[in-house]
C-alpha cells in the first residue's frame, strides 16, 4: 500500500516509523511518503494561509499549494490508478473499524490534514476529478490540526493490510472485531499482590475459557458502550 502525507508539519509523522508500521515500511508492505506543503507555496515566505473570504476569525489554507502538492503526488502514482484522498476534519464521517477495513483494501491513500480553520473548500471540489475524496473525523472533539488524526488513521488502517501484523489471529480477537469490546487479559504470576488470575483461565478447558471470554466481552460492552450493544442486538 502506498500512503502520501502532506502537511506543514511532516515531522509529526515520524511516530509512524516506530513499531509495526515502521517494520512494515522496512519490509516493503507500506510505502509511506511525507511531503512539506510549504515546498509548494509560491512566495518567498512560503505562505500557505490567508484570511477567510467573508471575514471572521482565523486563517484558511490557500488552495494553490494544496493543488500543486496533490498534482505532484498524482504524477508519481501507479499508472491508471485513482488514489483515495482523505481529508481529516471534525466535520467528516467518523472513523470506525469497518471504515478502517474499507480503506485498508485501497492501493493508494493520500492524507491532506489542514491547520488553522481548514482548507479552502474548492480543493476538495477540484480533487474529485482525480481522487476518491473522503472527509474523515476520528471522533466528536476538536484537535488543533489534522496531523494527530492522520497518525491515528494510518495506524488503524495499516495494521489491517495483509502481512503487517504477523499473528493475524490477534485481529479477530481484538475489540470491535465483532462489534464487542475485548475481554480482560492476564499473564503470570497467577497470584500477584493478592490479586488472582480467574481460575477458569488456568483450567486448560478451551471451551470454558472461550465461554468466559465471550461473557466478559458482552458484560463490558453493555456497561461501557451501550450504543455498540444496542446496534448489535
Ligand atoms: Cl480528523 N481533525 C481535527 N482537526 N479535529 C478532529 C478530527 C480531525 N477528528 C476529530 N477531531
What is the 76 CA–ligand 1 centroid distance (Å)?
A: 28
Choice from 146, 153, 155 to test ligand 1 binding pocket (greatest atom count within 8 A of CB): 146
pLDDT attached to residue 190: 98
What is the 155 CA–ligand 1 centroid distance (Å)?
A: 15
89 lines ligand 1 (CB under 6 A): yes
Q: What is the pLDDT of residues 17-49, one digit of tens each?
A: 999 999 999 999 999 999 999 999 999 999 999
CA 95, chain centre distance (Å)? 7
C-alpha distance from residue 171 to each of 3, 77, 120, 182, 211 (Å): 22, 30, 38, 11, 19
Query: What mean pLDDT value characterizes the chain?
Result: 96
22 lines ligand 1 (CB under 6 A): no
pLDDT attached to residue 233: 72
141 lines ligand 1 (CB under 6 A): yes
Q: What is the pLDDT of residues 74-93, one digit of tens each?
A: 999 999 999 999 999 999 99
- Res. 145 pLDDT band, cuts 50 70 90: very high
> What is the arithmetic mean of pLDDT over 60-72?
98
Q: Which residues of 20-49 are buried (b: 16+ CB within 10 A; e: fewer)?
A: ebeebbeeeebebebbebeebbeeeeeebb
pTM of the model: 0.94
138 lines ligand 1 (CB under 6 A): yes
First-residue to last-residue Cα distance in the chain = 35
> What is the arithmetic mean of pLDDT over 7-22?
96
What is the 86 CA–ligand 1 centroid distance (Å)?
A: 12
Q: Which atom of ligand 1 is nearest to the CA of 153?
A: 1
Q: What is the pLDDT of residues 208-222, one digit of tens each?
A: 999 999 999 999 999
- CA–CA separation, 65 vs 44, rounded Å? 13
pLDDT attached to residue 173: 83
What is the 17 CA–ligand 1 centroid distance (Å)?
A: 22
Dihedral sign of CA atoms 121, 126, 127, 133 in order: positive
Q: At which residue does the C-alpha cell 471575514 appear?
A: 55
Amino acid at each position: 500500500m502506498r500512503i502520501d502525507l502532506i502537511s506543514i508539519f511532516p515531522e509529526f509523522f515520524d511516530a509512524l516509523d516506530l513499531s509495526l508500521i515502521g517494520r512494515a515500511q522496512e519490509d516493503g508492505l507500506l510505502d509511506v511518503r511525507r511531503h512539506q506543503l510549504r515546498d509548494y507555496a509560491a512566495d518567498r515566505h512560503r505562505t500557505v494561509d490567508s484570511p477567510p473570504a467573508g471575514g471572521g476569525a482565523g486563517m484558511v489554507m490557500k488552495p494553490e499549494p494544496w493543488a500543486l502538492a496533490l498534482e505532484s503526488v498524482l504524477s508519481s502514482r501507479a499508472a491508471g490508478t485513482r488514489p483515495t484522498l482523505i481529508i481529516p476534519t471534525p466535520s467528516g464521517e467518523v472513523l470506525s473499524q469497518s471504515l478502517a477495513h474499507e480503506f485498508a483494501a485501497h492501493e493508494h491513500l493520500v492524507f491532506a490534514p489542514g491547520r488553522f480553520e481548514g482548507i479552502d473548500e474548492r480543493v476538495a471540489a477540484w480533487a474529485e476529478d482525480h481522487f476518491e475524496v473522503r472527509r474523515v473525523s476520528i471522533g466528536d472533539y476538536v484537535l488543533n490540526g489534522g496531523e494527530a488524526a492522520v497518525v491515528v488513521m494510518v495506524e488503524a488502517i495499516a495494521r489491517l493490510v495483509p502481512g503487517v501484523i504477523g499473528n493475524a489471529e490477534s485481529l479477530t480477537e481484538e475489540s470491535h472485531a465483532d462489534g464487542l469490546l475485548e475481554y480482560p487479559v492476564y499473564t503470570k504470576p497467577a497470584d500477584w499482590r493478592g490479586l488472582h488470575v480467574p481460575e477458569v483461565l488456568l483450567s486448560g478447558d478451551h471451551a470454558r475459557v472461550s465461554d468466559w471470554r465471550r461473557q466478559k466481552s458482552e458484560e463490558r460492552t453493555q456497561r461501557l458502550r451501550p450504543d455498540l450493544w444496542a446496534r448489535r442486538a
